[in-house]
Amino acid sequence: MEVWNYFQNNQSDVLHWLWNNAWLAGVPLVVGFLLALPLGYLAFRYRWIYPPTVTATGLLYTIPSLALFILLPGVLHTKILNPLNVAVALTIYTLALLVRVVADALNAVPEEARNTATAMGYTPRQRLLGIELPLAVPVIAAGLRVAAVSNVSLVSVAAIIGVPQLGQLFTAGFQTFSNAPILLGLILVILLAFAFDAVILLIARALTPWQRIAQAR
Amino acid sequence: MDTSLSFANVIKWLNDPANWQGADGVIARLGQQVYYAIIAVAIAVVIAIPLGLVIGHTGRGVVVVAGMANALRAIPTFGLLIYLVVLISPKIHSRGDLPYLLPTEIVLVLLAIPPILTSTYSGVQNVDLDVRDAAKGMGMTGSQVVRKVELPNALPLVLSGTRSATLQVIATATVAAYVTLGGLGRYLVDGLSQLNDPHAGYPAMAAGAILVALLAIVADLLFAIAQRFLVPRGVSGRFPSAAKAAAPTSVSAGPVEVTVGPS
């Protein structure tokens, strides 16, 4: 197992890169999500905000990641090798994806549930936190999973601009034209993506106990 | 290293005619990038749309294809690109950039197929059952139903899938500059090794990045226009009466809206 040998020989580097990759993908995911919740709610609550939001986020989305990694230092006045550029770029992507998802998820809450809550005397705030958001969890979680997986894999592109993470294994493999580091990188990136995916799934499951009851019947 | 970069230098770079002409000028690089992208999207369309129509029409293979599309999404494109380059390029003994172009195009096609495929079959599956039954009732054969009813009705989704695929391909073709390919990505990769150069360093990188972003936005716009002209009015709902009917369905969490991450 060439791949295993490579891992053994470079264990400390690889684990360091894996850790960097995890936080470079994870922190933007959390920050982007926390920013997307209020923005998505506004786009849901005030309809006129929705079309410009979708257009603007769609536009952000079309910008290729490598271009964004390189343009951000000019805007943020950071150094080009600063990992912060990557984190900010991924936060922007996460936010762009999730604002729309949150708005759509809140929109998809059945009208009857909303009306029932109102009839039971829920204030709009109680209704949002107690009824609408919980019912929107599955759709929001689906969006989060897409964002998480794409974040993990986008981080590796940043190896081109020299930010140390798992993408380093790809550039190392290219420089020496050897398969082992590339395969190791592919395996670790995919495993990391699955790990993020599993965490989101578990949290979503814990937040929506009624879905399991419905399935059991 | 001075990255307290003024965008004035970037504007200056873009305004210099010398940067636009010649073999490594913007025009040539833009041409290469568009060329790489068009080949890949064209091949992907030829494979994915017929396949998607068949899968959508018969309903067979949906689970397999959806699973594969999801799995493919977890594979980092940059890693896949380099893996195939290292795997394939030593086996090609040819002059020019074919040893690098071929693996790159394979990756681009692999990336472009899933969004087109999934959007095509979910577009077909979304066609109202009554509409399909009516077509059959009128005596249409299976292939007539596909061509005259299912494809036109699925067209908005097919186009949006192709649009996502194109944007992904443009982004990944940029990354392909790392494996010595041409295209606008060259400015981004070459600038890095001479970051302090006041001309070919960061100004060139930022200019290249802006051009790539503009290219992506223009491609996006072209698809919006294509959507407008190719989709029959009865489907797009640009009739006053049909305008509302289709709207709420796209909100549901199902396979209706094909969510593709950024690239």
Q: Which two tokens stand for residue A178?
A: 């050897």
Which residues of chain A does B217 touch, with a Cβ-Cβ cutoff of 8 Å? 59, 62-63
Which residues in chain B touch residue A193, judged by CB atoms under 8 angstroms apart?
74
pLDDT at A33 exceeding the cut of 80: yes
| pLDDT at residue A148, rounded to an integer | 92
Of A112, A105, A111, the closest CA to residue A134 belongs to A105
Domain boundary assignment for chain B = 7-232
The pLDDT score that the predictor gives to residue B245 is 46
Under the banding of pLDDT at 50, 70 and 90, the label for residue B240 is low
Q: In 3-state terms, what secondary structure has residue B3?
A: coil
Tokens of B41: 């999207």
Estimate to the nearest angstrom the gap between the alpha carbon of B189 and the chain centroid. Answer: 22
CA nearest to B174 within chain A: A66
- Percentages (nearest 5) of helix, strand, coil residues in chain B: 75, 0, 25
CATH fold for the domain made of B7-232? MetI-like fold (1.10.3720)
CA distance B148 to A93: 38
pLDDT at A161: 86
Q: A-contacting residues of B 185-244, CB under 8 Å?
A: 185, 188-189, 192, 195, 202, 205-206, 208-210, 212-213, 216-217, 219-220
Instruction: Compare CB distances from A150 to B7, B208, B261 and report the shortest one's residue.
Output: B261
> To the nearest whole angstrom, how far is the Cα of A89 from the nearest Cα of chain B?
11
Give the span between the Cα atoms of B166 and A62, in whole angstroms: 10
- Per residue in B23-57, pLDDT (tens digit) is 788 888 999 999 999 999 999 999 999 999 999 88
As a whole-number percent, the residues of chain B with pLDDT over 70 amount to 88
The mean pLDDT value for A155-161 works out to 89
Is residue B25 within 8 A of residue B187, CB to CB? The reply is no
- Among A159-163, B135-139, B196-200, the minimum mean pLDDT is found in B196-200
Distances (CA, A) of B141 to A166, B51, B61, B124: 53, 18, 22, 16
Domain A2-209 belongs to what architecture? Orthogonal Bundle (1.10)
Q: What's the mean pLDDT in A17-32?
A: 93
Residue pair B44/B116 in contact by the 8 Å Cβ criterion: yes
pTM of the model: 0.84
The answer to whether the CB of B57 falls within 8 A of the CB of B142 is yes
Say whether pLDDT at A53 is over 90.
no
**DSSP class of B253:** S
How large is the average pLDDT for residues A197-215?
87
- If one counts every other C-beta atom within 10 angstroms of the C-beta of residue A57, the result is 20
At how many degrees (to 10) do helices B98-125 and B77-88 cross?
130
Poorest-pLDDT segment among A70-79, A81-90, A207-216, B122-131: A207-216
DSSP secondary structure letters along chain A: -HHHHHHHHTHHHHHHHHHHHHHHHHHHHHHHHHHHHHHHHHHHHSGGGHHHHHHHHHHHHHS-HHHHHHHHHHHHT--TT-HHHHHHHHHHHHHHHHHHHHHHHHHTS-HHHHHHHHHTT--HHHHIIIIIHHHHHHHHHHHHHHHHHHHHHHHHHGGGGT--STHHHHHHHHHHT-HHHHHHHHHHHHHHHHHHHHHHHHHHHHH-HHHHHHHH-
**B11–chain A Cβ distance below 8 A for any pair:** no
B253 pLDDT higher than 90:
no
Block residue for tokens 């759509």: A104
- More confident call, B3 vs B166: B166
Say which of A70, A150, A194 has its CB closest to residue B205: A70
For the residues B240-245, what does the mean pLDDT come to?
Answer: 48
Q: Rounded to an integer, what is the distance from CA B232 to the centroid of its chain?
A: 23
Question: B71-112, pLDDT tens digit by residue?
Answer: 787 888 899 999 999 988 888 887 777 888 899 999 999 999
End-to-end Cα, chain B, rounded Å: 28
pLDDT band at A189 (very low <50, low <70, confident <90, very high): very high
B187 to each of B164, B192, B206, B214, B237, how far by Cα in Å? 24, 9, 8, 15, 43
Residue B258 binned pLDDT confidence (cut-offs 50, 70, 90): low
CB burial of A73-90 (b: ≥16 within 10 Å; e: otherwise) equals bbeeebebbbbebbbbbb
Burial category of A13 from C-beta neighbours within 10 Å (exposed 0-12, middle 13-18, buried 19 and up): middle
Judging contacts by C-beta atoms under 8 Å, the chain B residues touching residue A77 are: 3-4
- Token pair for B247: 């709207």
User: B106 — contact with chain A (CB < 8 Å)?
Assistant: no
Instruction: Provide Rg for chain A, Cα atoms.
Output: 20
> What is the pLDDT averaged over residues B11-28?
84
In this prediction, residue A137 carries a pLDDT of: 92
Out of A74-83, A84-93, A147-156, which region has the weakest mean confidence (pLDDT)? A74-83
Nearest CA in chain B to A195: B74
What is the average per-residue pLDDT within B218-233? Answer: 87
Nearest to B262 by CA among A12, A34, A175, A68: A68
Check residue A93 and give its pLDDT: 92
The span from the CA of A141 to the CA of A143, in Å, is 5
The per-residue pLDDT for A196 is: 92
Structure tokens at A139: 């759709």
The 10s digit of each residue's pLDDT in A110-123 is 999 999 999 999 99
